């Protein structure tokens, strides 16, 4: 399962999509197992300036990976503290998205460099693609 981050979806829905968007189109056309989380969905929808209803109808077809209770939030805080201890600044949201991916054994498809930092600190697998 690959958790697709908002950075990739934003590229996917942009007027001039890049390589990540093309890779996501390929993944969709080949029915690869992709998912979102509520946080990613919120980030996508809050940034829309057009076609919000159509985008919502499109995104509903993929499963949502959600926090698994207290343990997920605890893991997110541990990721945040670990990074802070190494002078790496993360957002709470990215720490929580990473914790959700880890809890579900999902890789991350992202353009956000914070997840590369998280991957170096944890076992978070990053989805690699040819640019």
Write down the pLDDT at residue 103.
98
Per-residue model confidence as pLDDT tens digits over 5-42: 999 999 999 999 999 999 999 999 999 999 999 999 99
d(CA 6, CA 28): 16
Whole-number Cα distances in Å, 99 to 76, 80, 82, 102, 131: 5, 10, 13, 5, 26
Domain annotation for the chain: domains and CATH numbers: 2-121 (3.40.50.1010)
> What three-state secondary structure class fits 35?
strand
Contacts by 25-30 with C-beta closer than 8 Å and gap 24+?
A: 27/2, 27/109
Mean pLDDT of the chain: 96
Which pLDDT score, from 0 to 100, does residue 131 have?
73
- The pLDDT value recorded for residue 92 is 97
In a 3-state reduction of DSSP, which class is residue 109?
Answer: strand
The mean per-residue pLDDT over the stretch 75-93 comes to 98
Q: What is residue 50's predicted lDDT score, i.e. its pLDDT? A: 84
Mean pLDDT of 84-112: 98
In the predicted model, what is the mean pLDDT of residues 115-128? 97
Q: What pLDDT, on a 0 to 100 scale, did the predictor assign at position 12?
A: 96
At 55, the pLDDT band (50, 70, 90 cuts) reads: very high
Instruction: Say if CB 122 and CB 78 are below 8 A apart.
Output: no
| Predicted pLDDT at 65 | 98
| C-beta separation of 124 from 109 below 8 A | no
Is the pLDDT at 129 greater than 90, yes or no? no
């Amino acid at each position: 399962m690959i958790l697709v981050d908002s950075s990739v979806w934003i590229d996917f829905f942009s007027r001039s999509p890049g390589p990540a968007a093309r890779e996501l189109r390929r993944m969709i056309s080949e029915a690869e197992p992709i998912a979102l989380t509520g946080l990613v969905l919120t980030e996508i929808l809050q940034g829309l300036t057009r076609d919000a209803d159509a985008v919502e109808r499109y995104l509903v077809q993929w499963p949502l990976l959600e926090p698994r209770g207290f343990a997920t939030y605890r893991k997110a805080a541990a990721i945040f503290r670990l990074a802070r201890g190494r002078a790496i600044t993360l957002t709470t949201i990215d720490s929580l998205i990473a914790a959700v991916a880890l809890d579900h054994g999902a890789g991350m498809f992202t353009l956000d460099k914070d997840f590369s930092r998280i991957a170096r600190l944890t076992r978070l697998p990053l989805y690699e693609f040819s640019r």
